[in-house]
Chains A and B, each alone.
Chain A
């Protein structure tokens, strides 16, 4: 155990330049993330006219004041809705995350009905399904504040519809897993959307606003000629008195959310989970605020990942595991907010010693049942004859196999590069980390754009040489530029986050908090007893 001695000079030019670069990216992150809120806020008058709260007011009112909220998939659908960067809106018309209601850690899903009346985007279903999966895995009661125009008929895709069934499938699984699901019906939920309340264990309906129907009045008229008014057809009051879909009838949004909070409180959900033993937690000796100055945004410039660790772990205090063996791969034992964990970082490509070190380290973490945190800054496994001879594939496979099979929580953060099989070895998306976030400077992909382009140029030159053909260097240059752009665009953290390839881009200075929150969530999941049943709870 040793408190790390930082070599960083926060007064240096390097630090200032790094910080300026990173803060520019953080500024971009905040600008993009703020777009959805700004657009939604434009509809405030409409909400107020109808006596409603805005989606973000609903969220704030639902959550316990002052308790933390970990937003998930905040950039979902960014650049997936349009290639026009300034016009793209992140969030997929829903706000999701883990927060506290009456002291209970819950998964929250708020339809952002200020944007296109909450109509689904192509990423909305996948985003919600991912959250449902996390809720089931982490045993988090699922609370959905419903107000959605439903599927966007103008942007229909058959696969969107087909996969969309997964939402209701997952609600069924949650209920059967002993994880209760809740809906506050703030507005309409029509057609498929009607199964949102339908499949949820508890429904609170807002009188006069909440609606659920398989066919709206317009559709009913088109289909059967029946002229029905929306309220009689689908209103909360009807469902509370006649159909039996609504358990609790609320007078307005505020009332409904108050009932929701009471309802969660009445589950006494925390009775089935022991609280972790209280620990005195020391904050890092080095301020998290310095992280932006410690790390160069260009992954090609090396730095010691321990400088990052020192600004994340309790007391800046960690034990370096085998520091002189496979030294470009860093393994340490440390606490984050009182949670003991193993942490893997990179000070360069992974060599055979580094790979075997990590494989062993992961097995030790598994043996001791402590979670592992992977801080990706990896360009890949070493290549070249020497390394192939040394069994790089064999040793790398051991490491990847360990990552795949350890039974402890796995948390990953892309803090720089994450390329190729290095991404796999560091528990990339495909390895189902429990939580996965990215810094705004992160670059991920099979390889860097320049490397891909150069590789393809080499392939072309070799092919031409074999055939003895003339090489049009101009065409090659153009191809190279096209490839670099194609790769660069896709490796950008904002792009990948928009594609749901992580759970969000975070301000580097929040890393300790994100990890602390995530570790506590994993801890609760593993200590909570639930009472699963075979078919989920039915409404009779």
Chain B
């Protein structure tokens, strides 16, 4: 038994908050660690104690094993929960914890190592009799060997980073001629992302489902599985929706996959929570993919259908206590679905977004669980994964869970940064998903650019936003005034004073004049139309209005003059009154001001002050989410100033280069 009293959570965001909750409920003292950027984050506020471990970038904070161990010592912790990501699958960190006398809440370092290298893991699994995708996982990394192996396995094949995960270093190759190039790019991506260029090759299973088995092992020889999760809905190998159980699961298949997963865990002397990922093809054949030796992001769906608290079980096992139940005690009831709410913009190829969280209001309701790591007033920082929250719904059956989840998403409001919320609602609403037919090809097959484009802004909604903006500005003025009788609001004895509001959203431009027409009522005139808008009630961010007599229910927020967010039926728009601002001042500076299109790290600066550039010239390279983006000149001219420097982290909108336009 290695009991402990104080648990340090070596992570951030929703998972750190989630681990703290269970640990506290179990009676442990909790210690959070945080970077400078996370000083006010929810996980810090939630924990009993918190230790600063360094600046924002993960390499200086959450990935610094030495600082985390020092923090544990300083705060009197005797155990470390690594969460997921960061150091959770770092065997050296597990060793370092042990060396420092800290209980590592996770598997033995040897098990991490065994599964850490995909090639080695696969060899191990083949030896253990776990079904594997035919492939090539030899230490011989020559192109010729890969080509020969690919011919033997048969195309299409998947090139993967041996040390990797999360889709980085992955390439789907359809024909022999493309393989060598794919190897080169995958190798360099893998080298960048994981510090190892080692690759493996697998037969690409066409349109498979991604089904994973949750396993749990204690130090007393008990290894159980807690059923499966279907994570087929993925975008570029990143999970979007996860659910339990899998819609096409049968008891026999579950038993077979469960047994294989348990076998995999036993083969490496596993302990604690782990996940064995499989590909499940249409015929019911399944193949070992990899094993994640940690708690998964999507563990809540398993918790909801099993009624177990996986973090509580992790802590119990880490203390050396027996799990306390066997395979036969595990029952699955109902259905749970989880989606990942990200700060990213589907309309721009899912570029990560940053910004202030002006308003965060998670939904509540029967069967709804939201694990979030954000709070109103904080920033979505460019340093970390843009996942904001997990929205999870449980139902007696899949359809109930699905409907509840759609409802919960619609009632969950985040203003200030772009999110993928509408995309998630769209995914959940598609027939193929509703029918349980989604495979890993679902998103690529179903979603066109038009589906992902920013939502159109209908006039009625623009008019409501304009009215709510005018009222927000009125409220701001009222707040600064010495008070005003409500009867006088919107009144003048002069000619009607209309407020002009111009919203530009995609192709649409709504040029409106908002005329007060008695308390809470407005006429909104555009060139050709006139709408009658009435505000019936407002409660926090929620408002009920009528437009030409039709009722609407919206969420809204105006954080600053001229800006308003409006959301109706899950569709959000961040709007800016174009005429509230010094348009000419911005336009004059415009073209020559090159700003960062997204948060990222400046990799390379290719120009210097004084240099003449032509439209389209490469100015610098920005790395964001491991992808390299070239920033090009928008006008012909002379570079007057270079504000970016290589190695510097920049936020979206930061000024990078200034160009003075050529005459």
CB neighbours (8 Å) of B584 from chain A are 51, 251-252, 254-255
A513 CA to B481 CA, complexed, in Å? 18
CB neighbours (8 Å) of A70 from chain B are 492-494
CB neighbours (8 Å) of A34 from chain B are 495
CB neighbours (8 Å) of A227 from chain B are none
A277 CA to B495 CA, complexed, in Å? 31
A-contacting 9-mer, from B193-201, B311-319, B575-583, B592-600: B575-583
Q: Decide if B447 is an interface residue (CB 8 Å cutoff).
A: no
14 A–B contact pairs at CB < 8 A?
Answer: A37-B495, A59-B497, A60-B500, A64-B476, A66-B474, A66-B516, A68-B489, A69-B497, A254-B579, A254-B582, A507-B493, A513-B488, A513-B491, A516-B487
Quick one: which of A67, A69, A102, A516 contacts B474, CB cutoff 8 A? Answer: A67
Quick one: which of A33, A51, A67 contacts B477, CB cutoff 8 A? Answer: A67
- Is there an interface contact between B480 and A252, defined as CB atoms closer than 8 Å? no
A258 CA to B580 CA, complexed, in Å? 8
A274 CA to B489 CA, complexed, in Å? 21
Quick one: which of A56, A67, A95 contacts B484, CB cutoff 8 A? Answer: A67
Quick one: which of B477, B485, B516 contacts A281, CB cutoff 8 A? Answer: B485
Q: Decide if B74 is an interface residue (CB 8 Å cutoff).
A: no
- Is there an interface contact between A69 and B477, defined as CB atoms closer than 8 Å? no
Quick one: which of A65, A97, A251, A278 contacts B470, CB cutoff 8 A? Answer: A65
Q: Mark B176-213, 1 if CB is under 8 A from A, else 0.
A: 00000000000000000000000000000000000000
Least CB separation from B582: chain A residue = A255
Quick one: which of A33, A60, A338, A517 contacts B497, CB cutoff 8 A? Answer: A60
Q: Decide if B588 is an interface residue (CB 8 Å cutoff).
A: yes
Total interface residues in chain B, CB < 8 Å: 38
- Is there an interface contact between B581 and A254, defined as CB atoms closer than 8 Å? yes
A270 CA to B477 CA, complexed, in Å? 12
Given A60-B500, A66-B470, check contact A103 B493 (CB 8 Å). Answer: no
CB neighbours (8 Å) of A33 from chain B are 494-495
A206 CA to B494 CA, complexed, in Å? 27
Quick one: which of B476, B483, B493 contacts A510, CB cutoff 8 A? Answer: B493
Least CB separation from B562: chain A residue = A258
- Is there an interface contact between A276 and B483, defined as CB atoms closer than 8 Å? yes
Given A65-B470, A276-B482, check contact A513 B493 (CB 8 Å). Answer: yes
Size category of the binding interface on chain A: 35 or more
A270 CA to B487 CA, complexed, in Å? 22
CB neighbours (8 Å) of B485 from chain A are 281, 337-338, 516, 520
Q: Decide if A311 is an interface residue (CB 8 Å cutoff).
A: no
- Is there an interface contact between A68 and B484, defined as CB atoms closer than 8 Å? yes
Max count, chain A CB within 10 A of own CB: residue among B490, B493, B582: B493
Least CB separation from B583: chain A residue = A254
A436 CA to B91 CA, complexed, in Å? 86
Max count, chain B CB within 10 A of own CB: residue among A51, A68, A95: A68
CB neighbours (8 Å) of A258 from chain B are 580-582
A-B Cβ contacts below 8 A, count: 135
CB neighbours (8 Å) of A520 from chain B are 484-485
Least CB separation from A255: chain B residue = B582
A464 CA to B543 CA, complexed, in Å? 80
Q: Decide if B25 is an interface residue (CB 8 Å cutoff).
A: no
Least CB separation from B469: chain A residue = A65
A251 CA to B588 CA, complexed, in Å? 9
- Shortest CB distance B592–A (Å): 16
- Is there an interface contact between A65 and B487, defined as CB atoms closer than 8 Å? no
Q: Which of A97-111 contact B (CB under 8 A)?
A: 97, 100, 102-105
CB neighbours (8 Å) of B478 from chain A are 67, 103
Q: Decide if B498 is an interface residue (CB 8 Å cutoff).
A: yes
A150 CA to B487 CA, complexed, in Å? 39
- Shortest CB distance A74–B (Å): 6
CB neighbours (8 Å) of A61 from chain B are 500, 579
Q: Decide if A491 is an interface residue (CB 8 Å cutoff).
A: no
CB neighbours (8 Å) of A273 from chain B are 482
A512 CA to B487 CA, complexed, in Å? 10
CB neighbours (8 Å) of A59 from chain B are 497
A516 CA to B480 CA, complexed, in Å? 19
- Is there an interface contact between B479 and A103, defined as CB atoms closer than 8 Å? yes
A524 CA to B579 CA, complexed, in Å? 32
- Is there an interface contact between A283 and B487, defined as CB atoms closer than 8 Å? yes
CB neighbours (8 Å) of B486 from chain A are 281
CB neighbours (8 Å) of A281 from chain B are 485-487
- Is there an interface contact between A95 and B494, defined as CB atoms closer than 8 Å? yes
Quick one: which of A60, A102, A275 contacts B498, CB cutoff 8 A? Answer: A60
